[in-house]
Structure 1
Amino acid sequence: MDDAVGGEALARPDEGEDDRRLGEAIRLLRRRAGLTIGALAEKAQLSTAMVSLLERGRATPSLRTLRLLGLALDVPVSYFFEAQEQDAAGRYVVRRGNRRLLRLTRTGVLKEALLPPSKGLLEMYELALNPGGASGTDFMQHEGEKAGYVLAGRLRLTLDGAVEVLEPGDTFCFPSSVPHMFDNPGEEVARVIWITTQGRAAPG
């Protein structure tokens, strides 16, 4: 089960409402897939208790948990973002004020989708991490690639046990099959342009 890491630097709307919205989305996808809570938990490599709590809006998922659920339910992480009205160019263009948001305020994370909704392989976000905010307490690992550019603050990136602390202007790129996690070890909000390709879960 993922630990929640707090932080007050990001705007904090009704986090209970955010958790309920995410829970409803997870439950709807699970039912569409014809899965029980136990079956989804097994497929996503999560505990049944965690999936149950998430569906009832009683827990905030980490980014790792959402990635595992997305892979198990065959949807990108961006599916869990808040819907926004799109203008006429919304098929190809995202205006700053129309970005779809994913607030995981109890874990110190805010993600803004920078690309229009699509079934393509590419995902791009602006990621904001509170001091102490993190991707989760366990390593992520799946197919595809990840890359990013640090805009502000500090990002600690752990890749297969090797730790790198990145600062503004630093960039990174690695295969998503490499076990990885990240967090903000600094005292200010870290902001990162984060790019990833979708892929199926890697064995092990």
Structure 2
Amino acid sequence: MKNASQNRAEEGAAETDIGSRLKTLRKARHLTINELALLANVSAGAISQIERNLTNPTVRVLEQLRLVLKVPLSAFLEEREMTPGGAEHYVRRCEARPHFNVGKRGIAKEMLSPSGDHDMQFMVIHIPPGVRSDEMLLGKGEKAGLVLSGELTLEINGDTARLMTGDSFQFRSHLPHNIFNHTDSDARVLWIMHVPPEQHL
């Protein structure tokens, strides 16, 4: 029998509609697809496919789009910025986690940070067997993680480490890095990022 926490997690597992939110944000700024494409250095065809939910944007594409639109990542993941009062302002309820896919390799993410713009963000990343993470953003700040289930290969600046369930890591974000699921089973990692205000993703 499933417990209450498991039921709540499943109820919150609906995939986030990034496409319609991108379209709403673009139109609110009176930009055509071609204008946004030029400003963000993303092809008009790619933006059109994202808005129609025909393809999943990579992390880098989301970053380029949100910088032009001047919004935090959460603007693509939620209908509106929720501003609950009291302690709820600092909480992300299990059933309210945005779920979204990135790239074409089946990688899925669950946002754990509360709604809004933050200097530290964290999420759960689901990596299918044999899949390497999409291009990672490099910049200021630090990144860290904890392997929740499965095994992963962590690649940082040309060095590699095999990680087992329960292993953790931390490094400077400017170092080239990647994570690879070298096994035939799914893997999940808690991914934590400390980023400066101008680089929130």
TM-score by length of 1: 0.71
Rounded Cα–Cα distance in structure 2 between residues aligned with 1:28 and 1:158: 37
- In 2 relative to 1, CA 71–60 (structure 1 residues): closer, same or farther, beyond 3 Å? same
Aligned-residue CA RMSD (Å): 3.2
- Kept in 2: contact 1:80–1:102 (CA 8 A): no
Partner of 2:89: 91
Q: Which of 141, 163, 185 is equivalent to 1:166?
A: 163
User: 1:97-140, CA deviations, whole angstroms, 9 ceiling, x for partnerless residues?
Assistant: 3323224595322222222102222211122111134432x453
Cα contact 2:72–2:116 (8 A) shared by 1 = no
Runs of 5+ unmatched residues, structure 2: 1-13
Contact 1:127/1:191 (8 A) holds in 2: yes
Question: Higher relative CO (CA 8 A, sep ≥ 6), structure 1 or 2?
Answer: 1
Percent identity at matched positions?
34
Alignment of 1:1-204 (within 5 A): 18=15, 21-81=17-77, 89-104=87-102, 107-136=105-134, 138-199=135-196, 200=198
Partner of 1:4: none
Higher CA-based Rg: 2
Q: Secondary structure at the match of 2:89?
A: coil
Contact 1:108–1:134 (8 Å) recurs in 2: no
Give the alignment's TM-score, normalised by structure 2: 0.72
1:108–1:131 Cα contact (<8 Å) kept: no
Aligned residues: 183
Instruction: Structure 1: state its 5+ residue gaps.
Output: 1-16
CA deviations over 1:63-108 (Å, ceiling 9, x no partner):
3332333334333333333569989853122333332322459532
Which whole-Å deviations, capped at 9, do the CAs of 1:37-83 have from their partners, x for residues lacking one? 34433444433322222122221223333233333433333333356
